[in-house]
Amino acid sequence: MSLFQAEKGKIILDNSQQAVFEINDKYVVAFCTKVQNDGIADLKDVENDIKFALIKEKKADIISAQFNKNNGAGKTIDDIGPYNGSHRSGSQQN
């Protein structure tokens, strides 16, 4: 059974009917929590995904604007780091 043929509430099996997948050095057991049919999804089904993407994009815009505001000619990373909530661990300060 592949992921695209899974039923809600069922454990996903590989081609040899094993429930445990080995990915690199980790083991994964997959469980189908939702089945979505082909076509355009209902808004309620993707609302949280859209909100997450928009919040992530807005945060990136805010961080970028803050960085650009505090970045100026002749400033080093140590100069602008504190304004952006960053600090260099292990750096030597004179």
Position of tokens 């355009």?
40
Q: What pLDDT is recorded for position 68? A: 81
Query: Looking at residues 18-30, what average pLDDT do you find?
Result: 75
- pLDDT for res 1: 43
Output the six-digit token pair for 51.
Answer: 């909100």
pLDDT tens track for 36-91: 778 898 899 889 999 999 999 999 999 888 888 877 777 777 777 776 666 666 55
If DSSP states are collapsed to H, E and C, what string results for the chain?
CCHHHCCCCCECCCCCCCCEEEECCEEEECECCCCCCCCCCCHHHHHHHHHHHHHHHHHHHHHHHHHHHHCCCCCCHHHHCHHHCCCCCCCCCC
